[in-house]
Chain A
Amino acid sequence: MIHYLFKRCLILLATLIVASLVVFVTIEVVPGDPASFMLGLNAQPDTVNALRAELGLDQSRLQRYLSWAGGLLKGDFGISYTYRTPVVDMVRDRLGVSLPLAMYALLLSVLIAFPAGVLAASRRGGVGDTAIMGVTQLGLAIPNFWFAMLLVLLFAIKLTWFSAGGFPGWDSGFFVAMKSLTLPAIALALPQASILTRVMRSSLLDVLNEDFMRTARAKGLSKRAALWKHALRNAMIPVLTILGLQFSFLLAGAIIIENVFFLPGLGRLIFQSIASRDLIVVESVVMLLVFAVVLVTFMVDLAYAWVDPRLRGAR
């Protein structure tokens, strides 16, 4: 187990170093200058140069990479070019929206997908199975931003139960904040729950056909007991993999939903920063996401080892 952990940690570290290089280089080659973006059409060339000097953009690329990467090691993400505030503060504020939103959506999708997947697999070919498969097909086919707009039309404009978007901040109270995340979380959860239900079902069906399941039934376990005791745990590996991928996706990939509900999340921060060439923000946030993805993968690896004891010592 220790060996397994150590190896995973090394891979994690190497991934991060390579990623920081790739991120920096890709973003630096994109044409466009943050200083001229900020100063607009009437700016004099010497004004732009003064601002470039003030932002430290007149240094060489290597210098900037080293000071950025060095800062990251110390937990210092630098100062945003356009907002002129520490990137750490901006990211913390945005994570305060994106992280709870991702967890909320993931929780909803797990709460829907697990029972639905198990039900579908255990009643294979039955009415329940067909209905669930039909609904998940629909869930996959409907674009989530469109579903989000329908939610807004019904719950915000027609019924006025929810506001059409925005995030009042955690200062306004836990339930108020969670309420504002509810519609976006539902919109995000729909396709994720559909995928998860299908993976859960097919993975369970695979396991149900295994020899050990026949043995379990032969030793006298009821169909239901065999499913809960033996099949579920064995079916978890693909489900965990998908869950890990989904979480990373939800953290940064919610940008379209963030736009529909005008939520100040991470996705929109990256988008704005790219448009204004606020390179340091883009670099730092992308690095943070790389870190999050790597960390989630790491945790999924650990979870594999937890559900499948064979993985603990072998590799």
Chain B
Amino acid sequence: MKSINIIPAAIAVLLLTSGAHAAKTDLVLGMQLEPPNLDPTGGAAAAIDEIVYANIFEGLTQFGADGSVNPALAESWEISEDGKRYTFTLQSGVKFHDGSAMDSEDVKFSLDRAGAEDSTNAQKQLFANIESVEVVDAQTVALNLKAADGNMLFNLAWGDAVIVAPETIGTAVTSPVGTGPFKFSNWVQGDQIVIEKNPDYWGEPVKLEKATFKFISEPTAAFAAIMAGDVDAFPVYPAPENLAQLEADPRFSVVLGSTEGETILSTNNKQAPLDDVRVRQAIAHAIDRSAIIDGAMFGYGTPIGSHFAPHNPAYVDLTAKSEYDPQKSKALLKEAGLEDGFTTTLKLPPPAYARRGGEIIASQLREVGINVEISNLEWAQWLEQVFKGKDYGLTIVSHTEPMDIGIYANPEYYFQYDNADFRALIENFNAESDPDKRMTLLKDAQTIIADDYVNGYLFQLAKTGVASSKLKGLWPNSPTQANDLTGVYWED
């Protein structure tokens, strides 16, 4: 009797599901790290932007999937002759998620707050050149700059420059209120954050109704979660060793892309004997990049010869300047009076690229007679000892901020690289707004630091994502740390 009742019910269910033709509209994304809070203007944690950027919060301009800077809350802009005044026309009808209207007062508040004396914005330098923010009318806002600045539109696209409302910024850490196509829904701390479609969005509505970010840090747990179908995609999959297996599985697609992460063997340019350019060059020639990429990164990563991302149009391939040549390395050491080699420290932060890469580099350096003492540090220790205290010889870090070659112009930065020519070049670059000249200057900048062998340039970190093969529209690359879900949808 029972089975007779079940069959029509089952048929009904089948008909309902197939007849509706509705594609899935919810998504579960796996992330390795949980953000400490959700205020992108008050912390540097990449995980914050990976949730809120372009989804919840928007800026005047915004990065596209290819790294280009596009209009967002600013519909258009005009730049004055001298390059010192930017007038933005805002999109009309933009509302914050609490229903209040977004106008030029909010823009002024956000930018003033980010650049203020007591600001806790992690990228305060982005706003250093803004003299004043002027409210022209409700839909028009003007930025007066201290000096002409070709980077301004780029700077305003950062997650740290998003537009917030004065009434709600105080609670943004736990319940962010932005203007984006998704609004914050719920946060189960330690487990997941849920965002849902904003029905009143000013722009093109998103296709997803709901997205859940689930935090899974263990590589094996990540593997289990994707295999069991608990998670639909990992934009950055934490276990490259499983990628081949996942690629062979028709349920999944593996997405390889690039990031802004230049992974470098950072060198203390003020510590003897590393203050000698010949010694730094010797280190550069002792390193076999392909062995590191294969050994530490399972083959994912692009060799770099300077501090610049290969997918950027201004990139020049300078890897030949530091090709693997242990004989040359030994000769250089001899020239520097160190034919018996020397000993230095290699302090490694927690990521796998550093820990695994560090072991390989140590053995490669030993081949030419350089003895390194490895110590493994946690991030907080690393920041204290290496970054702040500059108490290190060598370290391995991936610098993930987009277009950050400007850090070489700061002699106080932990590399302690001090080159007046380079500083002048970056100053020119910042002031220049002609795209062709900017391109030339960027190429020169890459060459200078490659010739000075400031750091050992290893590889550009790859973005290795795994997603259900029916999921479309995730960004393959990360021009900034973001999971922009505005174009994501499920294929029927």
**Chain A residues at the B interface, C-beta cutoff of 8 Å:** 31-34, 36-44, 46-47, 50-51, 53-54, 82-85, 90, 93-94, 97, 149, 152-153, 156-157, 160, 163-167, 169, 259-265, 268-269, 272, 274-278
Query: What are 29 of the A-B contact pairs (CB < 8 Å)?
Result: A31-B384, A32-B378, A32-B381, A34-B380, A36-B388, A37-B379, A38-B122, A39-B120, A40-B45, A41-B401, A42-B123, A42-B404, A42-B407, A47-B119, A97-B190, A156-B227, A160-B228, A164-B227, A165-B216, A166-B191, A166-B225, A260-B218, A260-B221, A262-B217, A262-B221, A262-B225, A263-B191, A264-B188, A269-B190
Apart from the given pairs A40-B45, A44-B125, A84-B173, 11 other A-B contacts in the complex at a CB distance below 8 Å: A36-B384, A42-B404, A50-B117, A50-B120, A82-B37, A83-B189, A156-B224, A163-B230, A165-B224, A166-B192, A262-B218
Contacting residues, chain A, for B120 (C-beta < 8 A): 39, 47, 50-51, 54
Contacting residues, chain B, for A53 (C-beta < 8 A): 118
Residues 112-126 of chain B: 1 if any A CB is under 8 Å from the residue's CB, otherwise 0? 000001111111110
Q: Are A85 and B174 in contact (CB under 8 A)?
A: yes
Cβ-closest chain A residue relative to B46: A40
Q: Are A157 and B228 in contact (CB under 8 A)?
A: yes
Q: How far is the CA of A11 from the CA of B378 in the complex (A)?
A: 37
Residues 348-388 of chain B: 1 if any A CB is under 8 Å from the residue's CB, otherwise 0? 00000000000000000000000000000011110111011
Contacting residues, chain A, for B305 (C-beta < 8 A): none
Q: Are B380 and A31 in contact (CB under 8 A)?
A: yes
**Shortest distance from the beta carbon of B85 to any chain A beta carbon, whole Å:** 25
Cβ-closest chain B residue relative to A33: B384
Contacting residues, chain B, for A32 (C-beta < 8 A): 378, 380-381, 383-384
Query: Interface size bucket, B side?
Result: 35 or more
Q: Are A262 and B216 in contact (CB under 8 A)?
A: yes
Q: Are A33 and B174 in contact (CB under 8 A)?
A: no
**Shortest distance from the beta carbon of A145 to any chain B beta carbon, whole Å:** 9
Q: Are A40 and B189 in contact (CB under 8 A)?
A: no
Q: Are A43 and B122 in contact (CB under 8 A)?
A: yes
Contacting residues, chain A, for B44 (C-beta < 8 A): 38-43
**Chain B residues at the A interface, C-beta cutoff of 8 Å:** 34, 36-37, 43-45, 117-125, 173-174, 188-192, 214-218, 220-221, 224-225, 227-230, 378-381, 383-385, 387-388, 397, 399, 401, 404, 407
B378 in complex: contacting residue of A44, A268, A275, CB < 8 Å: A275
What does DSSP make chain B's interface, helix, strand, loop or mixed? loop
Q: How far is the CA of A80 from the CA of B364 in the complex (A)?
A: 43
Q: Are B383 and A33 in contact (CB under 8 A)?
A: yes
Contacting residues, chain A, for B220 (C-beta < 8 A): 149, 260
Contacting residues, chain A, for B214 (C-beta < 8 A): 166, 262
**Shortest distance from the beta carbon of B478 to any chain A beta carbon, whole Å:** 16
Given A33-B380, A42-B123, A82 and B36 touching (CB < 8 A)?
yes
Q: How far is the CA of A39 from the CA of B43 in the complex (A)?
A: 5
Q: How far is the CA of A53 from the CA of B118 in the complex (A)?
A: 10
Q: Are A84 and B37 in contact (CB under 8 A)?
A: yes
**Shortest distance from the beta carbon of A52 to any chain B beta carbon, whole Å:** 10
Contacting residues, chain B, for A149 (C-beta < 8 A): 220, 224
Q: Could you say which of B124, B217, B224 has the most chain A C-beta atoms within 10 Å of its C-beta?
A: B224
A41 in complex: contacting residue of B37, B216, B387, CB < 8 Å: B387
**Shortest distance from the beta carbon of B462 to any chain A beta carbon, whole Å:** 20
Contacting residues, chain A, for B399 (C-beta < 8 A): 41
Given A44-B125, A156-B228, A165-B224, A277 and B380 touching (CB < 8 A)?
yes
Q: Are A50 and B118 in contact (CB under 8 A)?
A: yes
